Amino acid sequence: MPSTPAISYKSTAAACYVGNFVQATVINLTPILFIPLREAFGFSYEQLGFLIFINFFTQVLVDIGFSTLVDKYGFRPFVVAAHALTVIGFALFAAAPRLFADPYTGFVIATIIFSGSGGLLELLLSPIVNAIPTDEKAAAMSVLHSFYAWGQVTVVLLTTLFLYVFGRSAWPIMVLLWTLPAAFNFFFFLRVPLGPAIPEEHRQGMRRLILQPFFVVAFLAILMGGAAEISISQWTSAFMEKAMSLPKVLGDIAGMCMFGFALGVGRLLYGVYGKKVNVNQVMIAGALGAVVCYLVVALSNNSLLSLLAAAACGFMVSLLWPGTLVITAERFPLAGAWLFAILAAGGDIGASLGPWLMSVVTEQAPRLPLFQALGAGLSAEQLGLRLGMLVGTIFPLGAVLCLSWMYRANRPAAALRWKGALPGGE
């Protein structure tokens, strides 16, 4: 009797890599359009920051709300739907000025739609890769998480160059062009084989673990880590153009692109060499480095130094999100998918609150007499952006405190090592 040929999951891994690229477009496209939208429609920084808040808040709701449904119905219907939502959301975002009397209302609705896709991709892609029967999961997971960073670099670079060549008024065309990767992957995921999910009888329940001190601190750690990563990433473009008076194309390419590149390099390096070091210690050092980077960006008058600090921050924060998942998963190895959904929600909460808080400070602080006196020689806009970035320092500092507690709590245990278990995350 002939043997059944082994299933190849190479196409599955490739589809997940493209999916994480798509997620990078969902998260990083809007911030690049901050200044074009502000100039075209007169939006305040607070309104623009609220779009980022909506993006990540929607992802939080999806992370929590769909984890049980995914366990029940499987990966495929939800991962296919995620790509469809990306196409619909981007198309509506591009058409909002034509379809709505108040364009901002259209942008909000469109953001909710494509943010739902981002939440589903965040919830699904890593478990799908983790379910692939292979002995090389560590490499697959490393590549998966680095693809978010490579997607970020590509989105920033191509969008910035497109707007530079064709003008800022051409932004709707670029948004429509970014529907193409999601449309391609929609059909790709209809056909690729998917590995089995974890059986229900082997999953550990949520109620017994969620109130344990270690889990609570881990939730706060990923919240702070998400805020530290996304806040500087989302605001670098506007900060470099308006606070440092750099051309948009230079600020985006030298700032945001280098941030994404450093983020990807940090994750790939740890994927290769992580077995030799303690992930918790590396994360503490990275969070401390991020504190310094935030301070330099906020306080330096040297444009080159600020650009380098913004880029270096990508390397510093590269493990704060995925590393927290690794540590917590090893602490609670039988928790199941809900663990990663809750932690991903924590990261998204930080990623939504961080940029939004910075936008509020940017908009409101320059109106206060105390800050006006301190900001002599700066315009209100420049002063607000600097104060917003300075407030952002609390996020990596909070991560340092949480990670230090987790390290002390885990010291009696065996040293933590990268084992390729990186489910969830962005």
Q: What are the boundaries of each domain within the chain?
A: 11-410
Q: Does domain 11-410 have CATH number 1.20.1250.20?
A: yes
pLDDT of residue 348: 81
Cα 347 to Cα 356: distance, rounded to the nearest angstrom? 14
**Predicted confidence (pLDDT) per residue in 88-139, tens digit:** 999 999 999 999 999 999 999 999 999 999 999 988 887 787 777 765 554 5
Confidence category of residue 401, pLDDT binned at 50, 70, 90: very high
Give me 149's structure tokens: 């960073």
User: Which range, 14-18, 57-61, 66-70, 421-425, is most confident?
Assistant: 14-18
pLDDT of residue 412: 59
Confidence category of residue 140, pLDDT binned at 50, 70, 90: low
Give me 52's structure tokens: 């980022």
pLDDT of residue 198: 57
pLDDT of residue 371: 63
DSSP string, 211-276: TSHHHHHHHHHHHHHHHHHHHHHHHHHHIIIIIS---HHHIIIIIIIHHHHHHHHHHHHHHHHGGG
Which has the minimum average pLDDT: 18-32, 78-92, 128-142, 398-412? Answer: 128-142
pLDDT of residue 122: 85
**Predicted confidence (pLDDT) per residue in 26-82, tens digit:** 988 988 888 889 888 988 878 888 888 898 889 888 888 887 787 778 889 999 999
The pLDDT of residue 155 is above 70: yes
pTM over cut 0.85: no
- Range 225-246 average pLDDT: 81
Which has the minimum average pLDDT: 77-86, 324-333, 388-397, 410-419? Answer: 410-419
pLDDT of residue 1: 42
- Range 298-315 average pLDDT: 88
Instruction: State residue 17 phi and psi, 5-degree precision.
Output: -65, -45
**For residues 336 and 284, is the Cβ–Cβ distance under 8 A?**
no
pLDDT of residue 377: 65
Q: What is the DSSP letter of 377?
A: T
- Range 278-307 average pLDDT: 91
pLDDT of residue 423: 38
DSSP string, 44-76: -HHHHHHHHHHHHHHHHHHHHHHHHHHHHH-SH
Q: Which residues of 178-198 are buried (b: 16+ CB within 10 A; e: fewer)?
A: bbebbeebbebbeebebbebe
Q: What is the mean pLDDT of the chain?
A: 83
**For residues 204 and 334, is the Cβ–Cβ distance under 8 A?**
yes
Closest CA to 239 of 371, 94, 48: 48
Whole-Å CA distances, 70 to 62, 182, 338, 340, 410: 11, 20, 10, 13, 31
The pLDDT of residue 149 is above 80: yes
pLDDT of residue 223: 95
**Predicted confidence (pLDDT) per residue in 169-210, tens digit:** 999 999 999 999 999 999 999 999 887 665 555 555 566 677
pLDDT of residue 337: 64
Cα 175 to Cα 241: distance, rounded to the nearest angstrom? 21
**Predicted confidence (pLDDT) per residue in 335-392, tens digit:** 666 777 888 888 888 988 898 888 888 888 777 766 665 655 667 777 888 888 899 9
